[in-house]
Amino acid sequence: MDVKPQSLMPPNPPVQPDKSQAHETWGGFALFIGQLVLAVLIFRSFVFSPFTIPSESMVPALVNGDYLLAAKWPYGFSAHSLPVRLPLPEGRVFSSNPERGDVVIFKHPVDGTDYIKRVIALPGDSIAVVDGQVVLNGEILPLRRVADFEIALSPNTGCAWGGREERRADGVRLCRYTRFAETLPDGRAHNVVDFGTSTADNFAPVTVPAGAMFVMGDNRDNSQDSRFPAVAGFGVGMVPMNNLVGRATIIAWSTNGSAEWLRPWTWFAAARWERIGTRL
């Protein structure tokens, strides 16, 4: 009778597990979230951090509803560089002073809130204001009249006492401000708006002390800046360099405030597209 040859292999070899299969675990998800949070923290502390503009003290460069990115590295790093407050020692590492004309974000010397202004004078500079014109180291900074600043009225933008409310031919209501180009000693220029005669138009000469800076808002008649003593929620006085947070660089988004969260199509209609991408 015929005999079948015996196979050397077992009839049903064991199935090896597929080690390439993914297994979701809470531990792995928590690790991913932790890594993501750490990456965001590092980016916001040392690279760029977002800020929003809630007032009009920096008109025309910045208006209420602008969202900007601030570079964190130009002036070095300190406890104020972190997005959360930690009991770290005072001072900055890799420190560098700003230049006149820089738009800087800093912590208020009294209440620690974030403020944004333009640097006008540095340590050792003498500064005064006479009839609305800045006098820096004995020289009047020249002002040149340029085209008026116009901005459409919206939930985010009213018309302050120095503005002139108008209606364009297309029916859009806007506010018009008198605008000047102010030129610093190195030839760097920026725009400012003037409302007319105000209590801030005259400021007696002072010398900026070591380790400090004198800052002003571009909206010269509507800015609580170094012309006023440092008081919580108001003036900032001479701002310590150690309070620097970063340098404003670009407007990443701008909205007139008319958008509704539950109606996404209104987000685009509310955007001020002409402001987005503006470098500061």
CATH architecture of 47-270: Ribbon (2.10)
Would you name the residues annotated as active-site residues? 57, 117
Distance CA 193, CA 148 (A): 9
pLDDT in tens, 209-260: 999 999 999 999 999 999 999 999 999 999 999 999 999 999 999 999 999 9
Reduced to 3 states (helix: H, G, I; strand: E, B; else coil), residue 180 is strand
Candidates 190, 216, 179; CA nearest to 278 is: 190
pLDDT at 7 over 50: no
Angle at CA of residue 172, ends 166 and 173, nearest 5° = 35
* Whole-structure pTM value: 0.83
pLDDT in tens, 139-151: 999 999 999 999 9
Report the pLDDT value the prediction gives residue 8, as an integer from 0 to 100: 47
pLDDT in tens, 177-215: 999 999 999 999 999 998 888 888 999 999 999 999 999
